[in-house]
Amino acid sequence: MSTAAMFGAQPFPLNPISTTSHDIPLVFSKHTCQFLGLTWSSKFNLSRRSGTVVSVSDEKMSKSAPVLVITKEEGLELYEDMVLGRTFENMCHQMFSLRKIFGFVHHYNGQEAVSTGFIKLLKQQDSVVSTYRDHVHALSKGVPSRAVMSELFGKITGCCRGRGGSMHMFSRDHNLLGGFAYMGEGIPVATGAAFTSKYKRSGLRSCCLGVFWGWGLQQCALL
């Protein structure tokens, strides 16, 4: 069984979990992504494994023994991140309804898996450029939830000392490059941040994740 660090440049650790008779391992086609450090196997077979997450390692894949992407501890960590996001956004909604948070608030309830799934793969030095719907991105990137909530309340203890607000979360320490209000505005900025890696020849040691959704593509900044 190959082992790997969850958040590093190596494949995920694979630990067996108790199987049931109808479980079939989930296998993906082989693809090596240097940035994410994932290595997937050469075959692609759809299968299901109820209650457990499976993936493959390259050489050690065997059809009979199911293999996993993440350990139980890592799974709990990811789950905690998603629950934090959900709880946080629920509280935001409550506070907004009570008019304690004002202006624009864009909730991320229901999408936590996207934020957790992408951002938890990154390292501290990697950057994230987000949109106006950026609370949970900030949380997943590691900005303390107290700082994010204070920012929404416009307090000096917020991550931007009350100057940014809901849509403009910045954190130099966590390489969160904002919070942009316009549709698709962050796409060129994320490209520029990634360009810096190329310019400085830091190459594979850092990457930049730009988040946007459907309507942002219409801005056509990068098309």
Partner 1 sequence: MGALRDCQVDARQTEDGTPLPPRASSIIELLFPFFFQKREKKSRGEKMLVVRKKMLGQSLLIRPAVSVLRSYSSSAKQMTVRDALNSALDEEMSADQKVFLMGEEVGEYQGAYKISKGLLEKYGPERVLDTPITEAGFAGIAVGAAYHGLKPVVEFMTFNFSMQAIDHIINSAAKSNYMSAGQMSVPIVFRGPNGAAAGVGAQHSQCYAAWYASCPGLKVLTPYSSEDARGLLKAAIRDPDPVVFLENELLYGESFSVSDEVLDSSFCLPIGKAKIERVGRDVTITAFSKMVGHALKAAEILEKDGIDAEVINLRSIRPLDRSTINASVRKTNRLITVEEGFPQHGVGAEICASVVEESFAYLDAPVERIAGADVPMPYAANLERLAVPQVEDIVRAAKRACYRSVPLAAAA
Rounded Cα distance between 193 and 199, Å, is: 10
CB 115 within 8 A of CB 128: no
Q: Are strands 127-129 and 38-39 parallel, antiparallel or unpaired?
A: unpaired
CB 92 within 8 A of CB 151: no
CB of 119 to partner 1, least distance (A): 18
**Complex with partner 1: residue 54 or 190, whichever CB lies closer:** 190
CB of 147 to partner 1, least distance (A): 11
Rounded Cα distance between 128 and 105, Å, is: 20
Q: How far, CA to CA in Å, does 26 sit from each of 61, 145, 166?
A: 10, 35, 40
92 binds partner 1 (CB under 8 A): no
Helices (H), 98-185: 112-119, 135-141, 145-152
142 binds partner 1 (CB under 8 A): no
**Complex with partner 1: residue 79 or 102, whichever CB lies closer:** 102
**Complex with partner 1: residue 37 or 184, whichever CB lies closer:** 184
CB of 213 to partner 1, least distance (A): 18
Number of residues interacting with partner 1: please give it, by CB under 8 A.
34
CB of 149 to partner 1, least distance (A): 16
Q: How far, CA to CA in Å, does 85 sit from each of 71, 106, 122, 141?
A: 21, 13, 17, 11
Residues 160-219 that bind partner 1 (CB under 8 A): 160-164, 168, 170-172, 177-182, 185, 187-196, 199-200, 208, 219
Contacts with partner 1 by CB under 8 A lie at 127, 129, 160-164, 168, 170-172, 177-182, 185, 187-196, 199-200, 208, 219, 221-222
